[in-house]
């Protein structure tokens, strides 16, 4: 759900002025993508490999994880400026919560927990 900047200068998350609607759209699109067989196996393979290969994990963090986290934080900053999100919200925590999942037994894990370079890291 990335879109090109109007000046052609890279990617951005959608900013229609309705943060709630945008988050729902992005999350639905992410779920659709995760359930698409074209992406499922390669994404699983990548996640498996980055848990075993520190160099690949570092490359993943540098080229994918950190830039995507920054795009999310930029969008949240825009929501703060528009009064849609409280000024005192910790943006790193907010982004972490966007990638968090809960299992049926209440355990918490992350699709790509910060600092883990994509490792799934369940905790209680």
CATH code of residue 84: 1.10.357.10
Prediction pTM value:
0.69
pLDDT, residue 106, reads 61
The CA distance from 16 to 19, in Å, is: 8
User: Is 26 domain-assigned?
Assistant: yes
Q: Is residue 7 part of a domain?
A: no
| 41 in a structural domain | yes
Domain hosting 23: range is 14-98
Is position 114 within any domain? no
Radius of gyration over every alpha carbon of the chain, rounded to an integer in angstroms:
15
The answer to whether position 50 is within a domain reads yes
pLDDT of residue 116: 46
Q: What pLDDT was estimated at residue 108?
A: 57
Domain count, the chain: 1
User: Mean pLDDT by 10-residue block, N- to C-terminus, for the chain (124 residues)?
Assistant: 47 84 87 86 90 94 92 94 95 86 60 45 40
Output the six-digit token pair for 116: 């883990």
Residues 6+ apart with CB under 8 A from 57: 50, 51, 117, 118, 119
């Amino acid at each position: 759900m990335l879109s090109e900047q109007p000046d052609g200068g890279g990617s951005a998350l959608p900013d229609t002025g309705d943060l709630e609607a945008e988050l729902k759209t992005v999350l639905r699109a992410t779920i659709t993508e995760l359930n698409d067989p074209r992406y499922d196996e390669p994404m699983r393979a990548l996640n498996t490999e980055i848990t075993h290969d520190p160099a690949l994990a570092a490359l993943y963090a540098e080229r994918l994880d950190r830039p995507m986290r920054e795009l999310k934080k930029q969008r949240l900053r825009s929501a703060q400026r528009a009064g849609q999100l409280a000024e005192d919200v910790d943006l790193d925590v907010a982004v972490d919560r966007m990638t968090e999942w809960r299992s049926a037994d209440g355990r918490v894990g992350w699709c790509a927990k910060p600092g883990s370079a994509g490792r799934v890291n369940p905790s209680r």
